[in-house]
Amino acid sequence: MSTLNYRHLYYFWVVAKEGGIARAAERLDMAIQTISAQVRALEQSLGHQLLKSAGRGVTVTEAGQAVLARAEEIFRLGELIPEEAAAAASGQAPRLAVGLSDGLSKLAAHRLLRPVLDTPSLRLVCHEGEVAELLADLALHRLDLVLACQAPAHNASLRLGSERLLVSRVDWYGPTSMVHKAQVDRFPASLAELPLLLPTAHAALRGRIDRWFDARQIKPCVVGEFEDSALLSLFAAQGMGVFPVTALGAEDLAAMRGLRLLGCSEGLHEEIHAVHSRRGLHHALVQRILAAAREP
């Protein structure tokens, strides 16, 4: 198997981007014949035509589209090498940019990110927002990873991958002044007797909660709705009401005094999906997060 000539690939990439050999030759300050010969050499080595004439310029064939997509990744990553080499030489702190979708359990997200939080000199940047906006930033390499409460819709133009990191049971907690033994014994029916704090409709979990209530003929008394799960738990700890939290995220509730477990939901779960670009998948910290989540 012959080794790919990356110089030939680069010339093809410039021609495809410029839309013509003459314009590529002008950009590269090279002879048209030289550029043309290099592209033909690449086509011969791959065994497929990559470009065809189109008016005064050229267009990319189907085989060329596949090669162009890979070339885009290769040379986009290549542009980062000087910056990354300089950062490594200077001892610059490792950086991880994570997007958190609206409505995602922040306590559960913290648990998923915990495997990298002890990284020396880590610079962690977290952004919260709508999934579509976060995925656009991920495709543009402004983010290294997105954690979302549901799998993203397929979008071939974004070229992103995803995997489900966890499915976690949902538990219900409330202030100790509000949660008594009799209510624990009557759970989940006791949820109809207590003020509830729930995630907003932005969260995929909210739809699951509503369907779970309907299936059990529970009519909830909702006194508060929050997009931020950490804020929701804070208001609950201050005595406002009972709230749902994933079993994984519940491990972080120990830091909040005055909360008591009301009950564990059977048949109600939250999902968290990791969405990444091909470049992000090679980020050492992203790899560590995914590996830890896959462990049984």
- Residue 1 within any structural domain of the chain: no
pLDDT in tens, the chain (296 residues): 467 889 999 999 999 989 899 998 898 889 999 999 999 999 999 999 999 988 888 899 999 999 998 888 788 777 767 766 666 666 666 889 999 987 777 777 888 899 999 888 888 999 988 888 898 888 888 899 999 888 877 765 667 888 888 888 899 999 988 999 999 999 999 999 999 999 988 788 889 999 999 999 999 999 999 987 778 888 988 899 999 988 777 766 665 678 889 999 989 988 889 998 887 788 888 988 988 888 76
Say how far apart CA 112 and CA 26 lie, in whole Å: 50
- Residue 219 within any structural domain of the chain: yes
- Are residues 174 and 256 both part of a single domain? yes
- Are residues 134 and 281 both part of a single domain? yes
- Are residues 173 and 250 both part of a single domain? yes
- Are residues 159 and 277 both part of a single domain? yes
- Residue 254 within any structural domain of the chain: yes
Count of CB atoms situated within 10 Å of the CB of 93? 12
User: Containing domain of residue 176, as a range?
Assistant: 167-270
Virtual torsion, Cα 234, 232, 147, 93, nearest 10 deg: -30
- Residue 115 within any structural domain of the chain: yes
